[in-house]
Structure 1
Amino acid sequence: MGTSKTAAARINSAHRKAQALELRQSGMTYAAIGGELGISNAQAYRLVSAALREIREQAREEAEQLRDLEAARLDQLQHALWDKALGGDLRAIDRLLRISERRAKLLGLDAPARIAPTNPDGQGPWEPDTGGMTDEDRARRIAELLQTVKN
C-alpha cells in the first residue's frame, strides 16, 4: 500500500526543517543554508523558525503534562492527610499547608514578589555606573560603533 501525496509532502517538509535546523545549529547562516538546500534565504529562515516553533510547542506540552502529573501527586498526598488534619492532627495540618504552598508555586497561583534593586551594600537604590559618560557621550559612541559596523 502506498503513501498519500499529502503524507509524503509532510514527511518531506519535516525532513527539510530538520536539515535546516541542523545546519543552523552547526553555525551556518541562512544564506549558506539556502545554498546547501537549494532554497532562498527567506525560506531557510522560515524552515528554521518553524522547526524551533515546533520544539517550543513540544516542550510546552511536555511541561504541561509534567505539571498535571505533579498536581495529581499533590492531590493524592492531600487526600491521604485530609481526615487526620480535620481531626486536629497538627503535623497533618502542617503537611497540608506545605502541600498547598507547593501547589500554588507549581500552578503559579501566588503573585510574584516585587524586588526593588539596590546598590551593592543594599542601602540605597541601584543606579547604573555610567563611567562618567553623559547621554550625549553615549549617543556619540553608539553612532561611532554603528559607523564601524557599516564599514
Structure 2
Amino acid sequence: MSVPAALPLVTGRHRNRALASARQARAVQLATEGRTYQEIADELGYANRGTVHHIVHDALTRDRKEAVEDHQQLELARLDALQAALWSKAMAGDVEAAREVRAVIMARCRLLGLDQGAKRTTVWAPRTVVLSAEDREALGL
C-alpha cells in the first residue's frame, strides 16, 4: 500500500475544491481504519471532531446513494432484457409469457417506487380475456 502525500492543514475557509476533496477522501479512509474523529481532526487540521463527523457522514451517504443508483440501473437493464426476450411470445398469445412480462413490469414498478403512489380502492383480481382471431386482427396482434 502506498503512503499518501501529506495534505496541507486546513486554515479557515478555502475554495480549493481539489484539496477539499482529497482531505475528505483521507478523512473517510482514516475513519474506516478505526481512527477517532478527534484524531482525524488533529491530523488534517479541522477545527473539531464534529466537522470531521459531518464530512465522513456526508461522503458515506453520497457514496451509498451512488452505489444504490448504480445497482438500480443494473437491475433495470436486466428487467428490460427479460421483457424483450418474452415480449413477442406474450403478444403472440402465450399466456405464461404474458404472466412473466407482467411480473417483470411489476418488478420494475416496485424498483422505481411507482407502486407506492396509487392506493387501490378495490381489490385487483386477474381476469382472463379470450380473443377470437377477428379480435386479434382488429387489435393488430
TM-score (norm 1): 0.55
Shift of 1:73: 1.4
Q: Distance in 2 between matches of 1:98 and 1:82?
A: 8
Q: Distance in 2 between matches of 1:76 and 1:95?
A: 11
Shift of 1:105: 3.0
Shift of 1:27: 0.7
Which residue in the other structure is 1:18 paired with? 25
Q: 1:41 is matched with which residue: 35, 40, 49? A: 49
Identical counterparts, % of pairs: 23
Contact 2:86-2:100 at 8 Å conserved across structures: no
Structure 1 vs Structure 2 CA RMSD = 2.3
Gaps of 5+ in 1: 1-7, 86-91, 112-151
- The answer to whether the aligner puts 1:51 opposite 2:51 as a matched pair is no
Shift of 1:55: 0.4
Identify the structure with bigger relative contact order (alpha carbons < 8 Å, sequence gap 6+): 2
SS in 2 for 1:27: coil
Which residue in the other structure is 1:105 paired with? 107
TM-score (norm 2): 0.59
**Matched ranges for 1:2-151 at <5 A:** 9-39=16-46, 40-85=48-93, 92-108=94-110
Q: Distance in 2 between matches of 1:67 and 1:10?
A: 34
Shift of 1:62: 0.6
Contact 2:28-2:56 at 8 Å conserved across structures: yes
Q: Distance in 1 between matches of 2:103 and 2:62?
A: 33
Considering fraction of residues, name the structure with more helix. Answer: 1
1:97 corresponds to which letter in structure 2?
A: R
SS in 1 for 2:29: helix
